[in-house]
Amino acid sequence: MISARILSISIQWAALAAPLLCAGDLSSYREFQFGMDLPAVVKLVGMNSSEAKVIHQRPELIQELDWRPSRIPGSSPDADSVKSIVFSFCNGALFRMVVNYDRYKTEGLTVEDMVEAISANYGTATRPPAEIMFPSIYNESVKVMARWEDSQYSFNLVRSSYQLSFGMVVYSKQLDALAQAAITEARRLDQQEAPQKELELRQKQQADSRVLLEKARLTNKPSFRP
């Protein structure tokens, strides 16, 4: 089972990470640890597991949870520079987080300002000539402005070209690879099954229409007067 593989990989990589802690612990973002399960995350953010959106159900369960810190009971809307975090889970294990910073709380900050602040937690950044997908309503490919990574995890500072706001795409390389393979296969299956699903939908719509017409007929026929 892939869930067992995810747990095993998480434990193995956590053990390997110990020598790298001096360079910045990339195994978590704030209090959210890669590999933690959905119930643990929703407990931290004050949500319910039922609020997680199912993206794919096969070959593996892929879910997303969209959280805004302002939802925390009693919290001040001005208390956090994070506007939202989208958590991604594969069979219930956290493999990726997409962090959106509030544009008004980062207004005026330069890339160097952001790198300096983030490096205080995660060590020295690199500036790779790379792009990465930044999931949003635009789902855009954006330039990586700075990266913090080791053999297990990758933290990428980005900036949306539409919203002019900073963000971070952070993920476990091993868990993300498993999830992306599952997502690719799910999309292939969706495309393969699309014609049959469309046919079944049309047939259901036609059957529903016939039921409604028959119901109307039974209502209207006795009362019709020419």
pLDDT in tens, 67-86: 998 755 555 556 789 999 99
For residue 27, which phi and psi values (nearest 5 degrees)? -80, -5
Q: How confident is the model at residue 50 (pLDDT cuts 50, 70, 90)?
A: very high
Does 32 have pLDDT greater than 70?
yes
Contact 36, 93 (CB under 8 A): yes
Q: What is the pLDDT of residue 10?
A: 47
Extract the tokens encoding 150.
Answer: 């080791």
What confidence category does residue 195 fall into, taking pLDDT thresholds of 50, 70 and 90? confident
pLDDT band of residue 139 (cuts 50, 70, 90) is confident
Residue type, 226: P
Q: Which pLDDT score, from 0 to 100, does residue 19 have? A: 40
Nearest-angstrom CA–CA distance, 173 and 106: 28
Residue 155, SS3 per DSSP? strand
What pLDDT is stored for residue 137 in this prediction? 66
DSSP codes joined into one string, 72-115: STT--TTS-SEEEEEEEEETTEEEEEEEEE-TTTSTT--HHHHH
Rounded to whole angstroms, the Cα distance separating 194 from 196 reads 6
Alpha carbon 1 to its chain's center: 22
- Tally of helices (H runs) and strands (E runs) in the chain: 4, 11
Mean pLDDT of the chain: 86
User: Which backbone phi and psi does 26 adopt, to 5 degrees?
Assistant: -100, 10
Least confident of 74-78, 142-146, 221-225: 74-78
User: And the tokens for 57?
Assistant: 């159900």
The residue ranges of DSSP E strands in 102-199, in sequence order, are 131-134, 140-143, 146-149, 153-159, 166-172
Average pLDDT over residues 155-176: 91
Cis previous bond, 128, omega within 30? no
In angstroms, rounded to a whole number, what is the distance separating the alpha carbons of residues 224 and 152? 75
Whether 193 has a pLDDT exceeding 70, the answer reads yes
Domain boundaries, the chain: 2-181
pLDDT of residue 146: 97
